[in-house]
Structure 1
């Protein structure tokens, strides 16, 4: 039996670690520099892809492995 998937489409996530590069989720993926995403930036999971998730950040949609993601803390409500 497989483990339950910890993430779902529409969930807000952050990076769990700084990555040296990012892989775009385009039909023909490209590698982009890892500093396109700030460590505190949040993204939204768009869909499940082979090997990970397509996550939308402010500067694009990137393919991310589960080990590189963390569930974002809820926003502070004043």
Structure 2
């Protein structure tokens, strides 16, 4: 399965709840997955290695695997 491609500034939504969240800080920390709800919208900040994306949500910026998010049609 090919990695999903997003652009900086794309609005995305959480389609599947990840098992945990990792902060998008220089020194990432694991956080509980309930900080981001299913269906919540966020904005792509940057692409990271390994199919991860830094996404800004209401409660912070997190590294999210591309398989847990989809682009919101404009």
TM-score relative to the length of structure 2: 0.85
Secondary structure in structure 1 of the residue aligned to 2:34: helix
Count of residues in Structure 1 that have an aligned counterpart in Structure 2: 72
Q: How does 1:34-49 map to 2 (within 5 A)?
A: 34-49=33-48
Report the RMSD for the aligned CA atoms in angstroms: 1.7
Work out which of the two has the higher radius of gyration on C-alpha atoms and give 1 or 2: 1
TM-score relative to the length of structure 1: 0.81
User: Per residue, is there more helix in 1 or in 2?
Assistant: 2
Q: 1:16 to 1:5 in 2, by over 3 A?
A: closer
Structure 2: unaligned runs, 5 residues or longer? none
Distance in 1 (alpha carbons) for counterparts of 2:3 and 2:39: 26
Distance in 2 (alpha carbons) for counterparts of 1:65 and 1:29: 14
User: 2:16 matched to which residue of 1?
Assistant: 17
Distance in 2 (alpha carbons) for counterparts of 1:73 and 1:20: 26
Structure 1: unaligned runs, 5 residues or longer? none
Cα distance, 1:12 vs. partner? 0.3
Segments ≥4 residues shifted beyond 2 Å: 3-6
By relative contact order (CA 8 Å, sep 6+), the higher-ranking structure is 2
